[in-house]
């Protein structure tokens, strides 16, 4: 009897998730979870955990989207869009995706590679002369025993591939120790509303944290890649991405800023006590339009928009009959480019984590073991400092988008979501 009740409950829940609830992530096909080998009951368990965390005041709200076998099987908003206003979360809530911008910018650059206008082994100084003579910071003990920063010449040029795989020697100033990072923070790189060109020129004046091509270190590399796209294409970064990706893919809410009042009402906000993601780094206000278009962390998007981008990747570079990348190009992007065989060592804060390498724009799982996650080898992923996260698992024909604005708990929900979603894979 209990088995019959549980089966009936699952069937009813699956039927209730049909067209109204799943009303297509921007026209992607939909299916009940069971039709694509997922358990409605177990996916509901994850949604209930998110609801409980909203009720306890841990997070304001979230949007969870799960797709498998080319169909959206779960698309649930939870909690509040704006906790101060009490606005309910909605499926088309607009989130600051921060570093989930990086895969998009890298795909845009690879489109130029396929166009024959850019090569991975090109020195970036070919396009950005300010990077022709870089120096590398070296910490040495001073007379008082405290470290001082000296510089030595870079032994090799930074390449386009280095920018894509975070081996350029560039870094971020807002997390981790080191005098180069302190120099980044002191330089005021974002002061006085710079353009992408001005930002690049400011950054080029600072020493690198590592010799190019030697060390994986999370960095402003993708911002500089965005500037390369501008120089090669002759367009602003947003103009190029809009023409080649956002408009054709139907990603209508993926932009760098949100000046329109009707769209501003859909911006998801964090709890007031959870806005910081590093030293001097707080969540920005995308309503304020600035000149900088950060290819590494400036985009806002929705779960539905990002789902279309990921479905295109999972399809091998095409969606709705239009090809954006060739399958061999995508295979190159999702291979491991940052390992000992490539002469790369992990930096002190290796964000891909155990069992993962780094490709061109994504962390890439090397095999089924090592990492404490149940996804399969070949899975690739990345997240944003504001709390958003995504992964694509080709072997399981699945991708997941979690939209959340909570810097404090971003890593917690990445693991939790993985564990509970894979527990829902029943075929």
In angstroms, the CA 22 to CA 307 distance is: 13
Residues 256 and 405 in one domain: yes
One domain, residues 23 and 133: no
Beta strands in 24-173 (DSSP E): 61-68, 71-82, 87-88, 95-96, 135-141, 147-153
Query: Tell me, what DSSP letter sits at residue 213?
Result: T
User: To which residue do tokens 């870079």 refer?
Assistant: 154
**Interior CA angle at 204 toward 200 and 208, to 5°?**
125
The pair of structure tokens assigned to 300 is 């806002």
Comparing C-alpha atoms, which of 306, 281, 278, 260 is closest to residue 95?
Answer: 306
**Where in the sequence is the domain holding 153, given as residue range(s)?**
107-233
Q: What is the pLDDT of residue 279?
A: 65
Domain check: are 383 and 273 in the same one? yes
Domain for residue 211, yes or no?
A: yes
Given a contact cutoff of 8 angstroms between Cβ atoms, the answer to whether 368 and 361 are in contact is no
Do 242 and 366 lie in one domain? The reply is: yes
The conformation of residue 89, written as its DSSP 8-state character, comes to P
Q: Is residue 38 part of a domain?
A: yes
- Of 187, 202, 233, the position where a domain reaches its end is 233
Are 193 and 128 within 8 A, CB to CB? no
Q: d(Cα 410, Cα 404) in Å, to the nearest integer?
A: 8
The encoded tokens of residue 285 equal 């206000």
Structural domain contains residue 427:
no
- Residues 353 and 347 sit within 8 Å (Cβ to Cβ): no
- pLDDT for res 5: 45
Burial class (CB in 10 A: 0-12, 13-18, 19+), 98: buried
The token pair at 273 is: 């006590």
Query: What residue has token string 């090109």?
Result: 122
Which DSSP state fits 246? Answer: I
Q: What is the b/e burial string over 152-164, where b = at least 16 CB atoms within 10 angstroms of the residue's CB?
A: eebeebbbbbbbb
Percent helix / strand / coil, the chain, rounded to 5: 35, 20, 45
Two tokens, residue 67: 């797709």
Q: Note the pLDDT of residue 197.
A: 98
What is the number of alpha carbons within 13 Å of residue 207 lying toward its C-beta? 21
Same domain for 251 and 386, yes or no, is yes
- Are residue 402 and residue 254 in the same domain, yes or no? yes
Measured between alpha carbons, how far is 299 from 98 in angstroms, rounded to an integer?
6
Give the count of alpha carbons within 13 A of 221, CB side only.
Answer: 30
| Ramachandran region, residue 86 (left: φ > 0; alpha: ψ -120 to 50; beta: rest) | left
Predicted local confidence at residue 277, as pLDDT: 75
What's the CA gap between 339 and 288, in Å, rounded? 40
Contact indicator for 114, 100 with CB cutoff of 8 Å: no
- In this structure, are 30 and 140 located in the same domain? no
**342 three-class SS:** helix
- Residue finishing a domain among 201, 233, 265: 233
- Are 224 and 244 members of one domain? no
User: How far is Cα 330 from Cα 334, in angstroms, rounded to an integer?
Assistant: 6
Strands 215-216 and 345-346: parallel
Q: 31 with 169, same domain?
A: no
Q: Is 278 helix (H, G, I), strand (E, B) or coil?
A: strand
How many Cβ atoms from other residues are within 10 Å of residue 27's Cβ? 11
The answer to whether residues 187 and 277 belong to one domain is no
Same domain, 249 and 383: yes
Residues of the chain with pLDDT under 70: 1-26, 278-280
Q: Is residue 306 part of a domain?
A: yes
CB atoms within 10 A of CB 18: 12
136, 122 in Cβ contact below 8 A? no
Domain count for the chain: 2
Cα 300–80–14 angle (5° rounding)? 95
Among 233, 266, 284, the domain boundary falls at 233
- The CATH number for 410's domain is 3.40.710.10
C-alpha separations of 355 from 349, 352, 365 in Å = 15, 8, 6
Interatomic CA distance for residues 79 and 82, integer angstroms: 9
pLDDT score for 136: 98
Determine the pLDDT at residue 15. 45
Q: Are residues 416 and 298 in the same domain?
A: yes
């Amino acid at each position: 009897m209990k088995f019959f009740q549980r089966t009936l409950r699952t069937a009813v829940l699956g039927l209730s998730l049909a067209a109204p609830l799943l009303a297509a992530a921007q026209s992607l096909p939909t299916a009940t979870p069971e039709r694509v080998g997922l358990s409605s009951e177990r996916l509901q368990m994850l949604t209930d955990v998110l609801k409980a965390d909203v009720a306890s005041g841990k997070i304001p709200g979230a949007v969870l989207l799960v797709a498998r076998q080319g169909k959206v099987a779960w698309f649930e908003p939870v909690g509040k869009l704006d906790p101060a206003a009490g606005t309910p979360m909605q499926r088309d809530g607009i989130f600051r995706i921060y570093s989930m911008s990086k895969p998009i910018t890298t795909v845009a650059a690879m489109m130029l590679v396929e166009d024959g206008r850019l090569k991975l082994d090109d020195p970036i100084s070919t396009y950005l002369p300010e990077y022709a003579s870089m120096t590398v910071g070296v910490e040495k003990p001073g007379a008082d025993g405290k470290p001082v920063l000296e510089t030595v010449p870079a032994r090799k040029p930074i390449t386009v591939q280095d920018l894509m795989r975070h081996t350029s020697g560039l870094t971020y100033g807002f997390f981790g120790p080191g005098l180069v990072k302190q120099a980044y923070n002191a330089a005021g790189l974002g002061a006085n509303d710079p353009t992408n060109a001005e930002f690049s020129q400011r950054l080029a004046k600072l020493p690198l944290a590592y010799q190019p091509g030697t060390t994986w270190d999370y960095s402003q590399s993708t911002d500089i890649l965005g500037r390369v796209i501008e120089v090669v294409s002759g367009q602003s970064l947003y103009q190029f991405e809009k023409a080649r990706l956002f408009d054709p893919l139907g990603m209508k809410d993926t932009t760098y800023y949100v000046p329109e009042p009707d769209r501003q009402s859909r911006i998801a906000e964090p709890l007031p006590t959870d806005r910081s993601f590093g030293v001097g780094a707080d969540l920005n206000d995308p309503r304020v339009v600035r000149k900088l278009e950060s290819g590494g962390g400036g985009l806002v998007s929705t779960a539905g928009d990002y789902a279309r981008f990921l479905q295109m990747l999972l399809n091998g570079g095409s969606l709705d009959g239009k090809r954006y990348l060739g399958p061999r190009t995508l295979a190159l992007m999702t291979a491991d480019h940052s390992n000992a065989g490539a002469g790369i060592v992990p930096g002190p804060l290796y964000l891909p984590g155990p069992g993962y390498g780094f490709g061109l724009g994504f962390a890439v799982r090397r095999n089924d073991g090592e990492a404490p996650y149940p996804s399969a080898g070949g899975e690739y992923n990345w997240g944003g400092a504001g709390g958003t996260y995504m992964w694509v698992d080709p072997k399981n024909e699945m991708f997941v988008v979690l939209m959340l604005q909570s810097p404090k708990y971003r890593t917690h929900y990445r693991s939790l979501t993985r564990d509970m979603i894979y527990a829902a894979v029943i075929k």
